[in-house]
Structures are given as structure tokens and as C-alpha cells.
Structure 1
Amino acid sequence: MPRTTQPRMHKIIFVTLFSLLSAILSGCSGPDSFAVKGHVKGDATINLRALYYVDGALQSSIFPADRGSFAFKGRAPEGAVVEILDNDYRLLGRFYAVNGDEIDVTIDPKSPASAKVNKGSDIAVRWAQWLNANAKTIDSRNSKIINALAAKYVKSHPQDIVSTLIITTVYDASVDPEGASRLLSSIAPEARPTALTEAMATLLMYADTSAAKRRVSPLTLMAQGDTVTTFSPRKHRLSLLVFSDENSGRADSIVPALRRLRKAHTDKALGIMDVSLDADTLAWLRSTRNDTATWDAAWGTGGIASAALKPLAIPRIPYFIVTDSVGSQIYRGASISQALKKIDK
């Protein structure tokens, strides 16, 4: 009897020690790395993705969350904003990390701004506390109110790196680029590290140059009634792709403009694909309920990071792309009026 149980006991001990050692190693930082342990509320077992920039290059790490708990290591010698996303590229939370940090976070999938940093550097903790305190406002996606809130902090804390974190991640520069530039310039140079400001510039540059050279291929997206729809520029002389949500002026300015376009142009002359980037289908249906739209409409699951939209590199919303019949992009930008000028030219 002892001969049969002893090897099994050794195997159990070995596996346990190996698992323990792996957990210890994954949770320890060093001078050349940062270590993160965390928990996603809801205790789901899913794959997660961490995205952040180092030396102007996007770093991506995929790791599992076992009943909500996860751990991973990364490298950010000059500091970085680390974003945690789910399988559909939905943002779950973000925090600040730099080599040497040991970080413990609790993530609420329903509110990215509510991610709590239970352990981390002073910068990481203070930035998380500001996000947590203003989570409801940030989650509302009301750019005007959010920008005012961000500006208030920056003006009161020009020597604080948290001000840079707020401007580069929360402030909506698409509605007030001059204001964003002015606020960023008001922050002391030592609190405005290139590693953080270049990350935003790199993303926008990629979106506005590399993606602009690509032809728009047929898009297959979710439509109402749990169906899918495919939009192809080749079916129209010109096409207008619209990307918005219920908080980006959709009802006030975008839908009226689309109605005018449809009255002025046949479907063959101008194809219109109105893509909602609302957080969920309920928000999408709520925002489109009274549209009585006579154009193609769809929902981009996962927002601007949706796999279907990834080749277009949509940097912000609202956003508009005008193409010719072969998919070449004639215009891409945040102005509906500029898009209309290209169409009516």
C-alpha cells in the first residue's frame, strides 16, 4: 500500500509547489518590469488583454482570469498607461505602471473609471482615486462636462503627472483640440513625460496616416433583429461611413444631416452606413428608436476597437469616412460638415 500512494503524494506535492512557484514569479516585479495582480468583479473565467505603449510601440499581453483573478508582468521603464480589455476589446479599466511597481487592482466591468488600485505607486493610487471619484461623470461620455472636470484638475495641479494622465486619456481633444493643447502645455515639463504624451500622438498619427491609405473593404456588422448586414462601397459611386454613439451629437446634428443627404442623393449615388458604437445594444436601440432611417445602420460590438473596424483605426467619435466606389478614402475626420463638402463637391 505505501508503495502505491507515495509516488502519487510526491506528484501532488510537486504540482502544488510548481503552481505556487509560478504564482510567486508572476506576481513579483523587478527593476526591469512591473507586476500586476487583480480581480474582475463577477468572478468570470475569461481571457484578458493588456495594452500599453513603450518607446512608441504598442505592447500587447494576453492572459487568463480564473474566476476573476489574474496576474501578469510588463515592462515600462519610463511609465505607461496600461489598459485592460476583454475578448471583444471592450475597455474594462486602466492604471499607471512603471518598472519596479507591484500593483493590485480591482476592476468593475460595468465602469472602467471605477477600477481601484489597492496597491501601487503614489501616482497610480492618486490617478485611480480621481477616476473613481468622477466615474459617473466619465461614464456619461458627456465631453463638455468631462473636459471641464479635467481642466479644473490640471489648472490646480500643473506640477502633477496625474494631470498629464488625465489629459491624455480622459480629455476629449476631438471637441476642443486647442484646449487640450493649451492645457497640456501648461503642465510642468517634469510632470509631462514624453513616454506618456508620445503614446497619444503615436495612436492618433497611426489612425490618421496609415489607416487613411487603406481601401475600405466590405463591412459585416450586427444589424437590428439579431441579423448581420454587409456594406460594400463598390455598390455606390460614393459612400459615407458614420461612427457615433448617443452621447456624441448623434440626434442633434448627425441624423438630420443624414436625412438631408438621403433626400438629395439616390442609394446608388451615395451609400450611407451609420455605425453605432454605443456600449451595448440597449443603448443603440434607444438612440435609433426614433430615427426612421432610410439608410444602412449597424452596431459595432466592442466600440472603436471592434475586430471588424480595426483596419479603419477609428481614433475617436463621432468620426466620418467618405470613400469612392473602390473604397479609396476621400475624407476621414471628426467633422460632418467637411464630409458633406466632399460629397457635394
Structure 2
Amino acid sequence: MIFTMRKTIYLLFAVIAAAVCTACGNSAFSIEGKLTDAGTQNLRIVYQAGDSIVSQWVPAVNGEFKVDGKASDLSVVYLYSAQMQLIAHLAVEGSDHIKIEGSIADRYNLKVTGSDINEQWNDFIRAHAADFKAMRNDRTDKAIADYIDKNPKNVVSTLLLTCDYSDISSPNAQALLKKIDKTAKPEQLLSLYSQFLNSGDLTSKKVASLKLRNDQDSLVIVRTYDHPATILFFWRNEDSDRQTTVNSLKTLCRGSRLQMVDICLDSDTLDWRRTIDGDSVKWGHYKAIGGVVDKTIVDLNVKGSPYFIVADSTGTQIYRGTQFDKLRDVLNKKKIK
């Protein structure tokens, strides 16, 4: 379900790329699902088990599937479609028998049962489904903060913060983490997110140049020092209000010397080409089919989509975040046009 949590999705694959993936642990769990619009396809699950990351394909027939795994400690399982679209995240530990029902198209309203932790987590997501779907991060972040204030000893607080908060490297997230009782934030849940939780100020890292894959499938160098500012816009076709954002960027860049760079995080390049053809813009279009851990952008620590990074002519990052209005305000305040 939560999809500000895209950051966690891709972080798992970053770990996979760096380690040999083997299943470990002695405690079995199972997940059964019925997704009305899944049809027949290979789904994929990814989760941490001990010191390893387990990644395996799961056949779904007429939308139904079952998968068995092993995890001696509480872990988070991420479920993806064959196209690597996130469907759900689930909390599992040994002896759990989890059930998930609903529609991929309405993933924020999926029904998850089988353990108190999952049911409480799922209840929160469903209660705020409209805000998550619309990516109203200010509302969902506040709801998570309120939940943590009321439930500091509940492990669901840690799951919400690490999986569903819009930016877990932010000072606000750091403050919320400190509010959670240490009995409710087991080390195995925090370990995957340690690079975000301890990342400090990412804006201190300069973006002088990037090697990106363009619409001709060629790697090209994009430099920031040729323009007063460069806007990196990371997106997916599924992003709500994407066209509104593109139109706002068009207006912002019209008649300016700003360099606009849009980077698609989808693996489906056919949809990408159709989308950029429909945008009717002259700026550069690039793709990172590996998502935020694609080797061309992995060092940027992109937090999901939509996401913006703005660098000035020295490569200094002057804005990182999800809100176009704040991006525009930063440029106006610095009188960059």
C-alpha cells in the first residue's frame, strides 16, 4: 500500500544489488492473496531475512496466489506486479498466516488480515487512502505524527514512519523516531532504512553532472553549470496530477534560462514514449528503468515520485522535495530565472 514508501521499495533493490540474495531464518510464514484484477502473472515478493534480502517470483492464477517464506524476526514484505509496480507492503514474522484481498487498481484500500500488526497498519492506510492516493504528504505525514504521539510503544508507529512517511531523512522524521519507544523499533526494521535515517543533510552533496539515458537510448552527459539552475523532475505515469505538474513546469520555464530535466522511473518504456510525446515540451526526457536505484541516479537518493531536485549553477542542491510550490518559492527567493 503506501507509496510514499516508494523509497523503501527501491532501497530493497539497492541492497539486493550489493548482496547475494539467499533465504535464511527458521520460522515459516505464509501469505495468501486474491487480487481481482491481477489475472495470471508472476508477482514478486522482496523482504529481509536475517542478513539477507530474499527476492522470489510468485505465480498468480486468476488473481489468486500463495507464497511461503522464512523470517525469524519481524520483517516487511513488499509485493509487486510483473511490471514491478508496488501492490502492497506487509509485516511478517514466523508462524504468521497473512491474507490480502482487493484490487491492484485500488491498492490503498486493500484488506489485510492475519495479525494484529497488519490489521492496525492496514486500518491506518485505509482510513487515509484518499490522501495517500492524492499524495497529500502534508496530511499523511501529520496523521503519522499524530499516530506516533498516541502510540509510542506500538511497532506500527515504526512501520508507518519507515515505510509511509514522505521523507524519513528529514528533521521531522528524526524527531518522530526519537518519540518511539525503543521496544517498538526493533533493529531489524530500522536496518534497511539506516542510510536514510542517518543520512543527514543531502543538500550538501553537489550535482555537477549526470550521465542519463535519453529517448534515443543513448547515455548523455547533463551538466548543471551551464544554467542558473537545473530542475530534475522524477516521475511515473501513475503519479496523480502528473499533467498538472508538467503544465506548471512549462509555465515556470517559459522564457527562462532554467534547465528542465525530466526523468521517468517506470520500467515500461513504451508507455514512457507515449507520455512524453503527449507532453509537447522541448526539454530533455530521460529514463531510469531501474527506478530510484538505477545506476544513473542512485547517488541522488531520490525518495520516490513525483520528486524534485533543484541545483544551482555551482551544482549545489537548493531544493529537494515533492512540492512544486516550494520549488518555485525557492527559485523566486533566490531570484533565479
Question: Shared fold (TM-score greater than 0.5)?
Answer: yes
Point out where structure 1 has 5 or more consecutive residues left out of the alignment: 1-29, 222-227
Structure 1 residues 68 and 305: alpha-carbon distance in aligned structure 2, compared to 1, 3 A threshold: farther
Q: What corresponds to 1:295 in structure 2?
A: 283
Tell me, yes or no, if the aligned pair for 1:35 and 1:71 is still in contact at 8 Å: yes
Structure 1 residues 321 and 44: alpha-carbon distance in aligned structure 2, compared to 1, 3 A threshold: farther
Describe the SS at the equivalent of 2:125. helix
1:75 and 2:70 correspond:
yes
Q: Which of 128, 141, 156 is residue 135 of structure 2 equivalent to?
A: 141
Deviation at 1:198, TM superposition (A): 2.0
User: Distance in 2 between the 1:83 and 1:199 partners?
Assistant: 13
User: Distance in 1 between the 2:244 and 2:177 partners?
Assistant: 28
Structure 1 residues 309 and 91: alpha-carbon distance in aligned structure 2, compared to 1, 3 A threshold: farther
User: Where do residues 119-158 of structure 1 align in structure 2 (5 Å cutoff)?
Assistant: 120-158=114-152
User: Distance in 1 between the 2:41 and 2:54 partners?
Assistant: 20
The structure whose RCO (Cα within 8 Å, separation 6+) is larger is 2
**CA offsets per residue over residues 111-139 of structure 1, 9 Å max, x none?**
33223223x22112221222222222211
Deviation at 1:36, TM superposition (A): 1.5
**CA offsets per residue over residues 70-120 of structure 1, 9 Å max, x none?**
1222232221111101122210111110112122222421133223223x2
Deviation at 1:190, TM superposition (A): 0.7
Q: Which has the higher helix share?
A: 1
Deviation at 1:162, TM superposition (A): 1.0
Structure 1 residues 309 and 34: alpha-carbon distance in aligned structure 2, compared to 1, 3 A threshold: farther
Letter in 2 for 1:315: K
Q: What corresponds to 1:104 in structure 2?
A: 99
Q: What corresponds to 1:275 in structure 2?
A: 263
Deviation at 1:34, TM superposition (A): 1.4
User: Distance in 2 between the 1:54 and 1:202 partners?
Assistant: 18
Alignment root-mean-square deviation, CA: 4.7
Letter in 1 for 2:75: A
Q: What corresponds to 2:194 in structure 1?
A: 201
Describe the SS at the equivalent of 2:117. helix
Higher CA-based Rg: 1
Point out where structure 2 has 5 or more consecutive residues left out of the alignment: 1-24, 322-326
Deviation at 1:219, TM superposition (A): 1.1
Tell me, yes or no, if the aligned pair for 2:50 and 2:72 is still in contact at 8 Å: no
Q: What corresponds to 2:84 in structure 1?
A: 89
Structure 1 residues 46 and 197: alpha-carbon distance in aligned structure 2, compared to 1, 3 A threshold: same
Structure 1 residues 172 and 249: alpha-carbon distance in aligned structure 2, compared to 1, 3 A threshold: farther
User: Distance in 2 between the 1:295 and 1:135 partners?
Assistant: 34
**TM-score normalised by the chain length of structure 1:** 0.65
**TM-score normalised by the chain length of structure 2:** 0.67
Tell me, yes or no, if the aligned pair for 1:242 and 1:275 is still in contact at 8 Å: yes
User: Distance in 2 between the 1:204 and 1:256 partners?
Assistant: 34
1:243 and 2:223 correspond:
no
Structure 1 residues 198 and 110: alpha-carbon distance in aligned structure 2, compared to 1, 3 A threshold: same
Q: What corresponds to 1:65 in structure 2?
A: 60
Tell me, yes or no, if the aligned pair for 2:99 and 2:112 is still in contact at 8 Å: yes
Q: Which of 196, 217, 220 is residue 232 of structure 1 equivalent to?
A: 220
Structure 1 residues 79 and 249: alpha-carbon distance in aligned structure 2, compared to 1, 3 A threshold: farther
Letter in 2 for 1:162: V
Q: Which of 175, 178, 189 is residue 182 of structure 1 equivalent to?
A: 175
Q: What corresponds to 1:264 in structure 2?
A: 257
Q: Percent identity of the aligned residues? A: 21
Describe the SS at the equivalent of 2:42. strand
Describe the SS at the equivalent of 2:34. strand
Q: What corresponds to 2:7 in structure 1?
A: none
